[in-house]
Amino acid sequence: MDISLMIIDKNQKKIEYSGAFNPMLIIRNNKTTEIKGNRFSIGRTENTDQKFDNHVFSYKTGDMAYIFTDGYSDQFGGPLGKKMKHRRFRHLLLTISSLPLMKQRDFLDENIENWKGQLEQVDDILIIGVRL
């Protein structure tokens, strides 16, 4: 199972992040920083010594932080019926990051519907965006 966990400490303006496969995106001044999750799932594994990396970093007021499942980027659609892919999804988040959160949600909802067209949704889709 994949997972992303984020803790926001508003007093110290710090974020702690850990993830299994899923990355976290921080957008500041129209630049994207990706914090990668570990390349193994949570749950029982053969190697019980595996530890998840805990990323701690400072944020600035106005930054956008996103955690998400892979459902949006794995969705088939567009003019060729192909996957959206992570690069296109990341660029989409960068493009809308300055909008108010409700407008971002509405844009993402409309965009995925247009992208998939008549194709079935292939996976769960969850995107959490936080203006810091």
CATH number for the domain harbouring residue 49 = 3.60.40.10
* Averaged pLDDT for residues 1-29: 95
Helix 101-116 and helix 86-96, axial crossing angle in degrees, nearest 10: 150
Cα distance between residue 102 and residue 45, in whole Å: 39
4: exposed, middle or buried (Cβ count in 10 Å: 0-12, 13-18, 19+): buried
- At 64, list the tokens: 């956008």
CB 35 within 8 A of CB 17: yes
Mean per-residue pLDDT, 91-106: 98
Cα torsion 112, 91, 8, 75 to 10°: value is 30
User: What pLDDT does residue 42 have?
Assistant: 82
Chain centroid, CA 6 distance in Å: 11
Amino acid 95 reads T
For residue 47, name the pLDDT band (cuts at 50, 70, 90).
Answer: low
Give tens-digit pLDDT for 56-97: 999 999 999 999 999 999 999 999 999 999 999 999 999 999
Residue 118 has pLDDT above 80, yes or no: yes
What residues form DSSP beta bridges with 83?
Answer: 76
pTM: 0.92
**Number of domains making up the chain:** 1
Domain that holds residue 28: 3-131
CB 52 within 8 A of CB 18: yes
